Amino acid sequence: MEHIDMLVDWSRAQFALTALYHWLFVPLTLGLTFIVAIMETIYVKTGDEWWKKTTKFWMTVLAINFAIGLATGIIMEFEFGTNWSNYSWIVGDIFGAPLAIEGLMAFFMESTFFAVMFFGWDKVSKKMHLLSTWLVAIGSNLSALWILVANGWMQHPMGMRFNPDTARNEMQNFWDVLFNPNAVNKFLHTVSSSYVLASLFVVGVSAWYLLKRREVKFAKRSIIVAASFGLLSSLYMLTTGDQSAYQVAHTQPMKLAAMEGLYKGEDRAGIIAFGILDPDKKPGDGKDPFIVKLEIPGALSFLGYHDLQAFVPGVDDLLYGNDKHHIAAIQQKIDEGKKAVATLKAYKEAKKSGDKERAKAALERFRAHEKYLGYGYLEKPEDAVPNIALTFYSFHTMVGLGTWFLILLILTLYYTMINEIEKKRWILYAALWSIPLAYVAHEMGWIVAEVGRQPWAIQDLLPVGMAASNLASTSVMITFWLFAILFTGLLIAEVKIMTTQIKNGPEEH
């Protein structure tokens, strides 16, 4: 048992390492492709060669990020087969479909037209080149769509049926998987936040030029394009964030409770604007979960249920049950799940022995308890509670930084439009230092999404402990450190190449 726990922990750590590094590259690509496409559109419309020079500079930065980001993405997909083979077997019929479409359609589309975009300036017409640039942007975001459809299904599985003969979840309705509300909102929120990050990157780099009193015209025009794009994306991101919270409240209530450190459910529940959790707080102990907090009354009820008076269940309600609000205790689900596990085993044994009547009866009993099959692999109710402190602080860091980015983009766009941005050096410094903060906000968002749904690999269906491959934990440990060295090297290479490119400036791109 100790070996299994160590294996699962190291497998989780390795996948988390790969995902966090991978996401350092992806959002810049998703947003910068559209910013470059907008700049090239201005060039084609105006015929101004200066815009061509600007487009080429940001396109070179995009190419650096695109090339280095490929390595981590490929490794992450391979890890599903190496470290999570049980997961791949149980849900591969569903999970594999969007990933296959991503590879066959979106990835090849963006890769093909990327070559035309980057190398075809003097080889194809202006309009053909512009079309290629837009197709790269669309292809990159289509890649994100299919990957996030797969992830959204993990958060809220639907459109499938469990086959007890093969122990696999098999797709019943592709459109239910594609238009899963959780997946749709996850995609829209992720790409809109990526557009904000890319906008902040362009604004921050342009701010550096203004602080150095270099490339003034280039910097100001880049700020206008990027800040306008980023501001619109920020406003849309607020809408997608609201819808994402609504989906979480209805499909992952334990995650919502962890996001707000809510232990005891409340009517007219508030959002914590600022709070410090008591590290000694445990579920069901009756202690106040906060050392200090500043709360906005009713806001969580409205966010989760679009009703200021709605009841929001807390960790204790979800863990131990709440009869008034018809919430079953986790222990009840575990008991039902263990019956499902036992009857599934009985069905397989009866079928193997050729006893059709006993197999039919066992299958009927299994179907009666099937809904809670995943809970049958939990040892105790507390296993269903995620890391509340990590989820809470990650969520509030993300929200706080997102609010700051909206304010910053408004300020930079306004002062650039009235031609006073060079006088506001504090804004320029703030823009420059907001580049790393944008990456922090993105990583915090993924921590909320993934840590907040623990212990589930597939929400309510498959615990992480049952998803891992049967490997030697030492081999996972070794590859963890090898990947850590590799990914850190790639990151250092990207930062060095990019900073060199930026220091050279658009004249030397």
Contact 149, 187 (CB under 8 A): yes
Rounded to an integer, what distance in angstroms lies between the CA atom of residue 53 and that of residue 440? 31
**Token pair in block for residue 18:** 């790969």
* Environment class of 71 (CB within 10 Å of its CB; exposed 0-12, middle 13-18, buried 19+): middle
Give the domain ranges of the chain: 2-252+422-508
DSSP string, 370-431: GGGGGGGG-SSGGGG---HHHHHHHHHHHHHHHHHHHHHHHHHHHHHHTT-GGG-HHHHHHH
Structure tokens at 281: 């707080």
> CB within 8 A of 201, min separation 6: which ones?
28, 31, 32, 226, 435, 438
What residues does 296 pair with on adjacent strands?
271
Task: Please tell me the distance from the alpha carbon of residue 434 to that of residue 448, in angstroms, as a whole number.
Answer: 21
- At residue 151, what is the residue type? N
Q: Are 137 and 33 in contact (CB under 8 A)?
A: yes
What Rg, from alpha-carbon coordinates, does the chain have? 25
Do the Cβ atoms of 75 and 490 come closer than 8 Å?
no
pLDDT at residue number 509:
46
Give residue 97's pLDDT: 78
DSSP-H helix ranges across 212-309: 216-251, 253-259, 299-305
The per-residue pLDDT string of the chain (509 residues; one tens digit each, 9 = 90 and over) reads 556 778 888 889 998 998 888 888 999 999 999 999 999 999 999 998 889 999 999 999 998 888 777 777 778 878 888 888 888 888 877 877 787 777 776 667 777 888 888 888 888 989 999 999 999 999 888 888 888 888 889 999 998 888 888 888 888 888 988 889 988 998 999 999 999 999 999 999 999 999 999 989 999 999 999 999 999 999 999 999 889 889 999 999 999 999 999 999 999 999 999 999 999 999 988 899 999 999 999 999 998 898 999 999 999 999 999 999 899 999 999 999 999 999 999 999 998 888 888 988 988 999 999 999 999 999 999 999 999 999 999 999 999 999 999 999 999 999 999 999 999 999 999 999 999 999 999 999 999 999 999 999 999 999 998 888 888 888 889 989 999 998 999 899 989 999 999 998 886 54
How confident is the model at residue 2, as a pLDDT? Answer: 52
As beta bridge partners, residue 160 has: 171
